[in-house]
């Protein structure tokens, strides 16, 4: 048999480090080469725009739906109120108007009117509570008389007669044009307009509303001017008074 001789194990150079390459270069690690060519990973911050937009859209949608729901409830409540109570505005008419004194000078007007009005409440279940009523009588743009009616309470389906004396002796303000009034006096026919201004509450069963502003205008009245001591009187049958109620919501008048 032939004996085989095996080479003895020799220690590695450089303290166990791998032998250098034949051309004098180093043998780089494959993992290091891979990491050097790969770009560094940087985590991106979470995107919140889409989330904020979706929240805004949801809030707008909820707000719109809430407003529509409240409007629907108001419409239903208004319909129920109308069916139960059938509310109507009060009405006013001029019963008689008497002029006993009217004198015009360059500086003032002296006049005395005797006015009778009729106020009607056409409602079956609604009561009106009036504050004192301010009355003014105009001829054109000039005030020829002012007075007032006391406040009163008007029951359902009721007609109330109001009577007062209206006079004027106040001087004209500077720049007042009295030529139209002088022309009417020459024709012995005085065109008049009556305005009423007051506030009132509406009572429905045990409930009272806040005060409403009421403006009443009675236009198209003509009366002859007295020539002597006898007063003139008119009964304006065709005069209809316009009633304009209004109330305030916050800073707005409706």
Local confidence pLDDT in tens for the 254 residues of the chain:
455 555 555 555 555 555 555 555 555 555 554 555 556 666 665 555 555 667 777 888 888 888 998 998 888 887 887 777 788 999 999 999 999 888 888 788 888 999 999 999 999 999 999 999 999 999 888 889 999 999 999 999 999 999 999 988 777 776 778 888 888 888 888 899 999 999 999 998 888 888 999 999 999 898 888 876 777 777 776 677 999 987 554 444 44
Residues 6+ apart with CB under 8 A from 149: 117, 132, 133, 135, 162, 164, 196
At 122 the pLDDT is 93
- Region of 24 please: left (phi>0), alpha (psi -120 to 50) or beta: left
Q: How far is the CA of 143 from the CAs of 55, 132, 136, 177, 222, in angstroms?
A: 62, 20, 7, 12, 15
Dihedral, 85, 88, 90, 96 alpha carbons, nearest 10? -120
3 state DSSP class of 98: strand
Pick from 243, 106, 100: nearest CA to 166: 100
3 state DSSP class of 73: helix
Residues 6+ apart with CB under 8 A from 26: 20
Burial class (CB in 10 A: 0-12, 13-18, 19+), 113: buried
Look at the block and give the residue holding tokens 């007063």.
231
At 46 the pLDDT is 57
């Amino acid at each position: 048999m032939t004996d085989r001789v095996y080479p003895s194990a020799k220690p590695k150079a450089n303290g166990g480090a791998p032998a250098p390459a034949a051309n004098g270069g180093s043998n780089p690690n494959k993992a290091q080469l891979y990491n050097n060519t790969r770009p560094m990973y940087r985590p991106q911050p979470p995107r919140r725009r889409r989330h904020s937009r979706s929240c805004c859209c949801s809030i707008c949608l909820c707000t719109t739906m809430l407003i529509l729901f409240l409007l629907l409830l108001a419409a239903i409540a208004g319909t129920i109120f109308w069916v139960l109570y059938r509310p109507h505005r009060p009405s006013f008419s001029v019963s008689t108007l008497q002029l006993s004194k009217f004198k015009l000078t360059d500086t003032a007007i002296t006049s005395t009117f005797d006015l009778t009005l009729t106020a009607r409440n056409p409602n079956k279940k609604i009561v009106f509570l009036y504050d004192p009523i301010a009355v003014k009588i105009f001829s054109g743009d000039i005030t020829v008389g002012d007075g007032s009616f006391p406040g009163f309470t008007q029951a359902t389906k009721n007609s109330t007669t109001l009577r007062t004396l209206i006079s004027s002796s106040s001087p004209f303000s500077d720049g007042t044009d009295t030529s139209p009034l002088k022309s009417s006096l020459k024709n012995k026919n005085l065109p008049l307009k009556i305005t009423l201004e007051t506030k009132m509450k509406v009572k429905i069963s045990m409930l009272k509303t806040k005060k409403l502003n009421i403006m009443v205008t009675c236009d198209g009245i003509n009366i002859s001017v007295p020539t002597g001591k006898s007063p003139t009187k008119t009964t304006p049958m065709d005069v209809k008074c316009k009633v304009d109620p209004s109330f305030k919501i916050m800073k707005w008048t409706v």
